[in-house]
Structure 1
Amino acid sequence: MFLKKIFSPLSSLSIRLRLAIIFVFIFGATTIVFNMFLFKAMIDTLQQDFDDALFNYSVDVSEGIEIGIKGDLSFPPLRLDHGKILPFPLGTALIQVRHSSGAVLARVGNFGDFNPPYKKDFERIWKGEEATYRTINKVSNIPSAEADSYRLISFPLDNAAKPQLLLQIAVPMTLLETQVRQRLTLLQIGIPLVLIIATFGGMFFSTRALKPLKNMIQTAKEIKATELSKRVPVPNAKDEIRELTLTMNDMLDRIEQSFQSQERFVADASHQLLTPLTIMRGELELLQKTEKKDIDGFIKSSLQEVDNLADIVQEMLLLSRVDAGIGALNLQDLALDEVVFETLPRAERLANSKGIKLKFDINNESGGDRKMIRGDNDLLQNLIFNIIENAIKYSPNNEIVTITLNWKAESSELVIQDNGPGINEDQLPYIFDRFSRGSKIETRVKGFGLGLAIAQKIAILHNTKIKAENRPGHGAQFSIEIKNI
């Protein structure tokens, strides 16, 4: 939710700019967090080195202090070794020896009003600590303070189980403060500079990365309805942009095929509609030159052509409904055998005109109850009728068309077999195309070549497999397989 609020204002920007901003944001946040931990670790290391040097100095100073045999508190003057190289100036160190009672036994340096704390230091040393350290940030009581802060060490002088004497040394942290300021200044300048470089780098690389996408956009703009054969250039890199390019080219293939199919459909439909209109025009012109007693024959022929036109228009309307997709379906639970029984009377009228018998068998391969399917009853009847009608048309007179329903465990299969001449092998791939008529005797069979195309469309809408093949010997076989529910 937090990141969504951050990145939501970026939605109106270009992808290139969004990628650059997101890259800089992630890189900058990571860099800043990393440098914060690095800076903290560096400060701790410098502090530890400073404390180690201060501890060694305290040991050197403690070795120059003499304590009487009887524990008397008389001391010779403290000696300082000015030859040592330490991270603090020796001449400005404040040194004192303090008793657990609070009494200051000796001092070196100008303490002024500065009175180092000591009680908690005694307690910590009595608990076993080797020495204690404090940072004194309030330096206004120290005359001529040379730094903004001092480091104070409290070191036991006597070796008793409970030491009573502390050596306290306060030194200015000038060098440490300088090192911290220098590194902080480096980070304050370096991080913005790195982020500026990262911004330009992000813009450059995002531009390079999106260049194939820009080429895709430019190519897609240039593709017109008359130039659907163009394709988007495929980049060499095996990445998501290549996958997007291949997907777009596949889509263009489908669009081109769809356009070609529509063009063929319009051309074929025009031809199919033009034929009966031409016949009607010729007969009407002939009627004008003929005696009126022959008018009944002309009317009968014209009505037949009108029926042909109506059949073509009806099938084209059905195709348009099927092309509308699944939203136009009236889906319900159906028994496939009942759908077949409802279709048979319509098919029998056509079969009787050729003396063909329809034989319907049910084969329950699963051995269970009757299987149910889900689909549009009217469209499924059209699918089955068109296949049966095709079998009747291409079967010789007085033959048998066999319809077999196979109930399987997962699906129901309807197999329709005829005893016709079969389908030319070179026409099998196109048998379900619109206005395709692939039989060897197609010129002698009445039809428009839309029935199987409609059947295929209905089958696709119902996620159903439909297959056409030649039977051994002679005849064709169509199988329709639809999933059970």
Structure 2
Amino acid sequence: MFLKKIHKKIYNFFSSFSIRLRLSLIFVAIFGVTTILFNTFVFKMMIDNLQQDFDDALFNYAVDVSEGVEIGVKGDLNFPPLRLDHGKILPFPLGTALIQVRHSSGAVLARVGNFGEFNPPYKKDFERIWGGEEATYRTIEHISNIPSAEADSYRLISFPLDNAAKPQLLLQIAVPMTLLETQISKRLTLLEFGIPIVLLIATFGGLFLSARALAPLKRMIDITQNIKASELSARVPVPNAKDEIQKLALTLNAMLDRIQQAFQSQERFVADASHQLLTPLTIMRQELELLQKTEKRDVDLFIRSSLQEVDNLANIVQEMLLLARADAGIGALNLQELSMDELIFDALSRCEKIANAKSIKLKLNIINESNEDRKMVLGDNDLLENLIFNIVENAIKYSPNNEVVSITLTYKNETSELMVEDNGPGIPDDQLPFIFERFSRGSNMEARVKGFGLGLAIAQKIAILHNAKLSAENHLGNGARFIFEIKNI
């Protein structure tokens, strides 16, 4: 729980930074960790190489010194004074080297240099050499007992003098690691100062590069902040680089296109709706004024006329509410498993009165192309029934009297298809692309056909809401054909 709180605080703290700063910090963090790890690895490899070179030089020196030690034929030891060779250049000062010969019993047989109280260890060195090692090395760091020590640490080599299977004599040489310590110290100082400078440069470089990279985003923000409802034609600039920023710019422009179209559609809708609502209100006002002026008042006639206009107003409002519900999206749907034939029967029962008024026959055909008896669809019962009612009602309105409106339901394996055909005048080619727009009237018979131009717009909106397809076309001969296709479940 405590760690979670700490993590949340850190997250909230960094979330308050700008994207530019966060990108720079992430870049510096990744670059810094990588740089430190790489330099640590290189530094360790360098120390190992320097140590190996130092040990190789110390080994060669031990070989040279061992050649000056004489061992008699009978095993007696003859140690002439050990001398130092000053003619060679080695990574340690020869004048301060401490040299001694030691027996396996621990006795020191010969010694050169001021050892003071320094007593080099030897037991484990004998064991390792008896185990087969050519020589042993160790670093002596506690050298306070060496008089006039020249370095913080000494390197000790133990080298066998006799060639027995189990050597009894060791040549031990301890030399100061002054040069090695100096080289390590210089390189460490270089890293201690170099890495922070590199990270500082990387920080400013990251801030500069992130600012350049995010400059198009800043321009997009500035432009979108200035876009108003009255200036929806403005668009954000699209960079030439084919990257995520270009995709974002194209996405924003596409969204602005949709918003502009939606605003324009709403403006047309409001204007058309106002006109449609104003017409019956104007008629009612004129009739009421006429009723007020008329001496012989036929009240029943005026009441019937007013009621008719009220019905027209109610129908407009009802269709607009249905359209608003469709505009509300999928969240407004009451989805359930439905049968298309039942929906058609319910819609046709509502259309019978309209069809009988024009002596039009409604002919229903059901064709099953699937392997099952009946397919089900997923949708909103009221909305789908309204869609079917609207396209059938539209066919009845534009059909001449005493004609037939054909309704064909085809069950397919993947979809259910409803086709409604009438024998009316058809849809003019220039009006066909706009047949599903709000307040659009698809024929020059507009003056003789009652309606408000909302039915097909509502039907198309319902179809889109159900991921279905509603299309219109003219069939051979006279008349229009509407095809509604929805996926089965």
- Compute the TM-score of the two structures, normalised by the length of structure 1: 0.97
1:469 maps onto 2:473 in alignment: yes
The one-letter amino acid paired with 2:478 is H
Tell me what 2:323 maps to: 319
1:61 maps onto 2:65 in alignment: yes
Shift of residue 443, structure 1, vs aligned partner: 2.5
SS of 1:200 mapped into structure 2: helix
Q: Aligned match of 2:177 in 169, 173, 179?
A: 173
1:234 maps onto 2:263 in alignment: no
Asked whether the equivalents of residues 422 and 440 of structure 1 are also in contact (C-alpha less than 8 Å), the reply is no
Q: How far, CA to CA, are the matches of 1:472 and 1:250 in structure 2?
A: 39
Tell me what 1:16 maps to: 20
1:39-438 to 2 correspondences below 5 Å: 39-438=43-442
Q: How far, CA to CA, are the matches of 2:385 and 2:295 in structure 1?
A: 46
SS of 1:444 mapped into structure 2: coil
Tell me what 1:37 maps to: 41
Residues 329-368 of structure 1 show CA distances to partners (whole Å, capped at 9, x for unaligned) of: 1111111111111111111110111111001111000131
Q: How far, CA to CA, are the matches of 1:148 and 1:299 in structure 2?
A: 117
The one-letter amino acid paired with 2:351 is A
The one-letter amino acid paired with 2:313 is L
Aligned residues: 485
Once superposed, what is the RMSD of the aligned Cα atoms? 1.5
Residues 142-199 of structure 1 show CA distances to partners (whole Å, capped at 9, x for unaligned) of: 1111110000001111122211111110000001111111111111111111111111
Shift of residue 65, structure 1, vs aligned partner: 1.6
Which of structure 1's runs of 4+ aligned residues deviate more than 6 A?
1-5
Q: How far, CA to CA, are the matches of 1:245 and 1:339 in structure 2?
A: 45
1:455 maps onto 2:459 in alignment: yes
- Compute the TM-score of the two structures, normalised by the length of structure 2: 0.97
Q: How far, CA to CA, are the matches of 2:414 and 2:254 in structure 1?
A: 32
The one-letter amino acid paired with 1:73 is L
Asked whether the equivalents of residues 234 and 242 of structure 1 are also in contact (C-alpha less than 8 Å), the reply is yes
The one-letter amino acid paired with 1:95 is I
Residues 2-27 of structure 1 show CA distances to partners (whole Å, capped at 9, x for unaligned) of: 99666552111111111111111111
SS of 1:210 mapped into structure 2: helix
Q: How far, CA to CA, are the matches of 2:296 and 2:20 in structure 1?
A: 81
Shift of residue 442, structure 1, vs aligned partner: 2.2
Q: How far, CA to CA, are the matches of 1:220 and 1:292 in structure 2?
A: 65
Shift of residue 293, structure 1, vs aligned partner: 4.5
Shift of residue 459, structure 1, vs aligned partner: 1.0
Asked whether the equivalents of residues 136 and 157 of structure 2 are also in contact (C-alpha less than 8 Å), the reply is yes
Shift of residue 296, structure 1, vs aligned partner: 3.0
Residues 120-148 of structure 1 show CA distances to partners (whole Å, capped at 9, x for unaligned) of: 11111111111100000010111111110
Asked whether the equivalents of residues 358 and 401 of structure 2 are also in contact (C-alpha less than 8 Å), the reply is yes
Tell me what 2:486 maps to: 482
Which stretch shifts more, 50-59 or 272-281?
A: 272-281
Asked whether the equivalents of residues 291 and 297 of structure 2 are also in contact (C-alpha less than 8 Å), the reply is no
Residues 45-69 of structure 1 show CA distances to partners (whole Å, capped at 9, x for unaligned) of: 1111110110111111111222111
Residues 96-115 of structure 1 show CA distances to partners (whole Å, capped at 9, x for unaligned) of: 11111111111110111111
SS of 1:121 mapped into structure 2: helix
Residues 191-248 of structure 1 show CA distances to partners (whole Å, capped at 9, x for unaligned) of: 1111111111111111111100000000001100000000001111111111111101
Asked whether the equivalents of residues 469 and 486 of structure 2 are also in contact (C-alpha less than 8 Å), the reply is yes
Q: How far, CA to CA, are the matches of 1:186 and 1:233 in structure 2?
A: 47
